[in-house]
Chains A and B, each alone.
Chain A
Amino acid sequence: MTRVPGRKAAQSAGTRRARTNGESRAEEDLRALFGQSTAVFASLAGPAHMLEAANPAFFAAIGGGERTRTGVPLGQLVPELADQGFLALLDQVYRTGKAHIGRDARVVLGEGAAAREAFFDFTYEPRVDAGGNTMGVRVIGVETTQVKHAQRLTAEHRALLEQIARQAPLPEVLEGMARVIEDLAPEEVLVSVLLADADGRHLRHGAAPSLPDFYNEAIDGIATGEGVGSCGTAAHRRRPVIVTDIATDPFWDDFRDLAEKAGLAACWSTPVLARDGSLLGTFAMYHRTPRAPQEADLALARVFADTVALAVERQQAEQARQAAEARETAARADLAFLLKASTALTSDLDATQTLQRLAAFCTPQLAPLCAVDVVEGGRVHRIATAAPTKGQQDLLASHLPVHDAADNTVARVLASGMREVARRTPTGSGPWQELGVTGYMCIPLMDRGSAFGTLTLLSTGEHPFDGHTVALAEELARRAALAARHARQYTHRVTLARDLQAGLLLPDLPAVPGADVATYYHPAGEGLDVGGDFYDVFPLDDGRWAFLLGDVCGRGAIAATTTALVRHTARAVAPLLPGPDAVVEAVNRALLNRPDSHGTGFVTLVYGQLTPTPDGLDVCLVRAGHTLPLVLGTDGTVHTVDAPGALLGITADPAVTVHRLHLSPRESLLLYTDGITEARDGSGEQFGEQRLAAALTGGAHRTAAHDVIDVLTRAVQAFTGGHDIDDDQAVLVLTAT
């Protein structure tokens, strides 16, 4: 190997070509690794093996220089051969006249520091004159050193490629590669691989198993740029940079002392480039003494720089795939989280419980600590908190934000309706120190443009809120606010319906002399609406009592106003009018005179008056289009009371007629709405009058009004089989005592 003084930016490498035509290049490089297998030839004469003639390859092999001369015995020209038995072999061939062939013979040429090991395939042939006498020996040799090295290197290289294909961890691949090169190099070489940051501006430690740690640490993170050692410069130039002597090279001005301390004298660096030409890192070979590379060295550098590129790109592709997979998983998880949270949030029909669920859902997914505050009656109420421990939760719950303090985060967010996110404790007092709060996110809970509360998430330790968490929390808060609003509306509506209904029915049944009274009322559905059925029992002035049971066409608020109209009209006019027909006619007039906005639906009604007598009750009643009242006799029989009369609110004359009857003790009068007879079973069949009569027939032993109701409601329930009740049901039973 010849030394080339100074530095040479290896122009032979040129600018890197795209790797599409790089395959043939790689083959060239691999061939270069096998070297030029030039044959050596020498012609020796006489028993002293005088060197008569030799080709230049022979002189190069024995060291060149002063050794490039003929007319000298070989033992004198290359004295080191004597000790290795080569001269003895020559003597033998000269003496016997028989050729000798040696394979992969090891020979050490040169002496001391300059000594080098080489392998040769030899042939020693006798040179014979015309008379058959041996004149000398002809030496023909082919050096196999490089071939042997290259074969091993190629095998190792193939192993590395297999490792990369198996997606072995990058550091493992790089370190293994560095060791292979170091082990196989004929001289001591130290390999270093640096990896570029994504922006290509800095180089990070990749693998350098033989360089000292202090050296690796010192160059970890160096910038790429002109004059930043061999590697920084090579990375910057995107071309190999060969520094043959670090001691004198200006590129190493800033690192010379470091290199000296590490015992490094030369550094050849090759950039590692991706398919698209972007920088992936550098591949460098260091030497303990100043030296210049031969073509085979540069070829080796190129082959392994490409190998590094393959390994890095493979790893980057794998990382990108994993990142994409992680992103997709995260997106799916977000969606699942939101869906689950939304379902849970909307399943509650109570606003406070909804917001308490919100707090529970935020922890620990979005933050370790969470508080929900709601403004009510001009004050802030902390209605929910969540924390890892009960103690922390209580501590968080014990702190109330001040509503009107300008320096309070919650107050500010309530006023502005704008979220706040910060990497510090919320402003205003609070147990931030005790809870170890490091950041907060305060999101308004909005209802039609104004904030009615806030969701506060608190972070602890190294857990800042990223944009993703903020977006998720905001979406969750939006859904929770909506769910809370719906829950509040639902609650208001149920309360309204309940209050209205209570006002329309009798809170307590009055004690009626001579009569046992029982009622049953069951509204349809979930209790969101006021039902259309109603009943009433009230005293008249002269010891008589009035009772009524009716059904307003429709449900809800309009039905409620009609119910109120009917009941209050009846109560007002009944004491003033002579009989039930007059009262019902008055009710009909009131209905006809309703403003349209109060409804135009009709009403069916049974209205009656009862007078206690010594032996039961005298009853007179009118029926206006309503279901037929039933009389339950003491003998268990059931009779219908048929009094003609049309429904009310439609015509000026409902043509009602008064029906009179007497109830002996234990006889009952039963009034019911069509919700009873039209109750349906699973197949849609209606309960009907006949089943009703059958259910009540034979109940002679029943003495109390509520027993009648029990029997009736049980019969209906048994018939419907728990099928949803889609109409109101009302029953009034008067039993003579």
Chain B
Amino acid sequence: MFSVVVRQDARGVVFALRGELDFESVVQLHEAGEQELGRGPGVGPVVADCSDLEFCDSSGVGALVRFFQQLSAQGRALRLACVPDSVARLFSLTGLDQVFSVHADVSDALVAGTGGREIVAPGAAGADKPVQPSGGQGT
């Protein structure tokens, strides 16, 4: 089972991911992501709260990367918080922990940008090529 609970915060938006994010459940993250993207730029970073994320496979990684790219195109960041060890291994293997800024807790993640390592997709911050939200590129 998997669920995404989206919570507005004065400093940004929190996506609380719960359960198993895999081939079957990524669609929920896509849907929640599309809705968030519809709110447009200028509404702050999105923090994926992974406290209750029990499992993530390559499809989940694909979905997170896609969301990251789409947010970057709006000049917004996707940060990870509270990644449990079981999931941290996959994030580490794929290098997601290098692409995203990873934080110990949600509050840190919301105010990050000065502390954590913040990588924004090339083009998003005025580089040559903006990254457009891609369609249907899930693994």
Contact = CB atoms under 8 A, between A and B. Distances in A.
Interface stretch (B2-10, B43-51, B93-101): B93-101
Interface string B1-32: 00000000000000000000001100000000
A652 interface: yes
B69 A554 contact: no
Contacts, number: 83
A647 B122 contact: no
Interface in B106-127: 119, 121-122
A197 to B, nearest CB: 71
Nearest to B73: A600
A646 B132 contact: no
Interface in B49-77: 57-58, 61-62, 65-66, 68-69
Given A650-B68, A651-B121, A604 B137 contact: no
A672 to B, nearest CB: 12
Interface centre among B119, B129, B137 (most CB of A within 10 A): B137
Contacts of A674: 57-58
A651 B100 CA distance: 10
Interface string A574-603: 000000000000000000110010011110
B35 interface: no
B127 to A, nearest CB: 9
A71 B82 CA distance: 147
B139 A554 contact: yes
A624 interface: yes
B134 A602 contact: no
A625 interface: yes
B88 interface: no
Q: Which 8 A-B pairs have the closest CB atoms?
A: A646-B95, A625-B94, A600-B134, A601-B137, A625-B95, A674-B58, A646-B98, A554-B137
Contacts of B99: 646-647, 650-651
A530 B127 CA distance: 32
A627 B62 contact: no
A553 B121 contact: no
B134 A601 contact: yes
A726 interface: yes
A627 B119 contact: no
- Interface size class of chain B, counting residues whose CB lies under 8 Å from the partner chain: 20 to 34
B94 A604 contact: yes
A600 B119 CA distance: 17
B62 A602 contact: yes
A121 interface: no
Contacts of A686: 57
A643 B21 CA distance: 25
Contacts of B134: 596, 599-601
25 contacts: A551-B58, A553-B65, A554-B136, A554-B137, A558-B137, A592-B129, A596-B131, A596-B134, A600-B132, A600-B134, A600-B137, A601-B66, A644-B92, A644-B98, A646-B95, A646-B99, A647-B65, A647-B94, A650-B121, A651-B98, A651-B121, A655-B95, A655-B98, A674-B57, A678-B57
B122 A592 contact: yes
B132 A627 contact: no
Contacts of B95: 624-625, 644-647, 654-655
A485 to B, nearest CB: 25
Contacts of B66: 601
A113 to B, nearest CB: 109
A194 to B, nearest CB: 80
A553 B134 CA distance: 12
Contacts of A554: 62, 136-139
Given A596-B129, A644-B95, A647-B96, 12 more contacts: A551-B58, A553-B139, A554-B62, A599-B134, A600-B132, A602-B65, A624-B95, A627-B93, A646-B95, A652-B122, A654-B98, A678-B23
Contacts of B68: 650
Nearest to A624: B95
B23 A726 contact: yes
Contacts of A625: 93-96
Interface string A649-678: 011101100000000000000000010001
A602 B96 CA distance: 11
A678 B58 contact: yes
Interface of A: 532, 551, 553-554, 558, 592-593, 596, 599-602, 604, 624-628, 644-647, 650-652, 654-655, 674, 678, 684, 686, 726-727
A628 B122 contact: no
Interface centre among A652, A654, A674 (most CB of B within 10 A): A674
Contacts of B24: 684
B69 A650 contact: yes
Contact of A628 (B62, B69, B93, B131): B93
Nearest to B23: A726
B24 to A, nearest CB: 8
Interface centre among A554, A600, A645, A686 (most CB of B within 10 A): A600
A553 B137 contact: yes
Contact of B131 (A551, A600, A684, A727): A600
A388 B62 CA distance: 60
A553 to B, nearest CB: 5
B139 A600 contact: no
Nearest to B89: A689
A644 B61 CA distance: 17
Contacts of B69: 600, 650
A553 B57 contact: no
A551 B69 CA distance: 18
Given A601-B134, A650-B69, A553 B94 contact: no
Contact of B122 (A532, A599, A651): A651
Contact of A593 (B92, B98, B129): B129
Contacts of B61: 647
A601 B66 CA distance: 8
A596 B128 CA distance: 13
A560 B91 CA distance: 26
B55 to A, nearest CB: 9
Contacts of A596: 129, 131-132, 134
Nearest to A599: B137
Contacts of B136: 554
Nearest to B55: A686
A593 B127 CA distance: 11
A437 B47 CA distance: 79
Contacts of B62: 553-554, 601-602
Nearest to B57: A678
A655 B98 CA distance: 8
A674 B23 CA distance: 12
A644 B94 CA distance: 8
Contacts of B65: 553, 602, 647, 650
A553 B26 CA distance: 14
Nearest to A726: B23
A635 to B, nearest CB: 26
Contact of A646 (B96, B129, B137): B96
A650 B92 CA distance: 15
Contacts of A551: 58
Contacts of A727: 23, 139
B19 to A, nearest CB: 13
A646 B134 CA distance: 20
A553 B138 CA distance: 7
A216 B85 CA distance: 107
A431 to B, nearest CB: 55
Nearest to A558: B137
A645 B65 CA distance: 15
A251 B66 CA distance: 101
Nearest to A644: B95
A177 B131 CA distance: 98
A646 B94 contact: yes
Nearest to A675: B58
A651 B66 CA distance: 13
A540 B121 CA distance: 33
A532 B98 contact: no
A652 B69 CA distance: 13
